[in-house]
Amino acid sequence: MDATLKHTPFFDLHKEKQARFAPFAGWQMPIQYADGAISEHKHVRAHLGVFDTSHMGRFEVRGSDAAAFLDYAISSDILTLDVNASRYGLLCRQDGGILDDVFAYRLADHFFVVVNASNLTKDYEHLDTLRSNFDVELEDRSGETVMLAVQGPDAIPFLNTIASAPLSEIPRFGAAYRTFAGVEALVGRTGYTGEDGAELFFPSIAAQQMWQYLFSKASSSGFDLRPIGLAARDSLRFEPGFPLYGHELSEDINPIQARLKWACEFDRTFVGRDALLEHAKSVEFRKLATVILRDRGVPREGCTVYNPEHGGQIGVVVTGMYAPTVDAYAANVYLENTLSKVGTMLEIDIRGKRKTAEVVKRPLYTPSYR
């Protein structure tokens, strides 16, 4: 294994579970376990799984201007966010390009912001620059904390049995503190799989204690908890249409192109707002679309997309895979806006052969909590 890659505090525990590792955003991360990614995907849809997401970045924002600062930095409305609630939003450049997608949790005396692992340094520097006009403190807590996501239809029933108070009392996208075997954790009723569940944030020194407690209690109470790797996490987020930075999102893509206009509150000022309003006036732009292969083939990132009518290149695959829940090979592609309509027939070059694909309605899977 590459000695330059970082390990989360759960690394040895993943090895005990027979994880297969691969580099991801500078980390040596579990990609899948012995049963394989498709089995893991189906298990989360039917039961529950736990994901080590400690590679992601975690910031604390404090100070009298904390709400106003994040309201300016993030595309969604943070100023009116209730205490003990969270919201998804985007960090944008002034030209509207997406620097990252984030989750912001508003707590009693501070905000907790979760960012993508690959963007941690960039995001911190961006926020640090923006805060010069605000009375706020910005702290990177990534090294001091870890993050586990417990997801699936059995996640909340299971966590209800082992937490100091039921998690079912926390509304979807809510946040609260709970204690597990003496370890206090911030619980976000959030996740990125299309299933109900929670994300647990707690001190790094308690990582092994919490992991072992979760599996021990699940075994003794009849819940089939399994560790889930990043491969299944990718397919689980893909089916309900959740974007992944570096694929559906980048600095060269704006929220309108990425179908994330709903995550932008334009009746307030935020970084990139004016550029996005101008962009929204145009009808000629790339737009994210989801396609299903009608011919046999596995679409992969980077495959070229063609218009079968005139043969010209019209886009590129940004995510492609087998989607287990719908039993289909599918992809996310960026196309000219006029070609992103449902029912449009396309061709994708897969290993030198053009395969027929059809633009379909998004998402492929409707989350169970909706």
Q: Where are the domains of the chain?
A: 11-56+143-238, 57-140, 284-360
What is d(CA 236, CA 116) in angstroms, rounded to the nearest whole number?
Answer: 17
Q: How far is it, in rounded angstroms, from Cα 232 to Cα 234? A: 5
If 0-12 CB within 10 Å is exposed, 13-18 middle and 19+ buried, where does residue 61 land?
A: buried
Task: Give the pLDDT of residue 284.
Answer: 72
Is 255 within 8 Å of 286 (Cβ atoms)? no
Q: What percent of the chain has pLDDT over 70?
A: 99
pLDDT attached to residue 160: 98
- 284-360: what CATH class? mainly beta
275: left (phi over 0), alpha (psi -120 to 50) or beta: alpha
What is the pLDDT at residue 3?
79
Question: Of the given ranges (76-80, 154-158, 229-233, 278-282), which has the lowest mean pLDDT?
Answer: 278-282
Q: Among 3.40.50.300, 3.30.420.40, 3.65.10.10, 3.30.70.1400, name the CATH number for the domain at 57-140.
A: 3.30.70.1400
What confidence score (pLDDT) does residue 289 get?
98
pLDDT at 370: 60
Residue 337, pLDDT score? 87
Task: Report the candidate in 271, 217, 226 with the shortest Cα–Cα distance to residue 93.
Answer: 271
Q: Please provide the CATH number assigned to the domain covering 11-56+143-238.
A: 3.30.1360.120
Burial 235-256 (b: 16+ CB within 10 A, else e): bbbbbbbbbbbebbbebebbbb
Q: In angstroms, rounded to a whole number, what is the distance separating the alpha carbons of residues 88 and 104? A: 7
Does the pLDDT of residue 367 top 80, yes or no?
no
Predicted pLDDT at 43: 98
Could you give the CA distance from residue 86 to residue 150 in angstroms, rounded to a whole number? Answer: 17
pLDDT at 369 exceeding the cut of 80:
no
63-74 mean pLDDT: 98
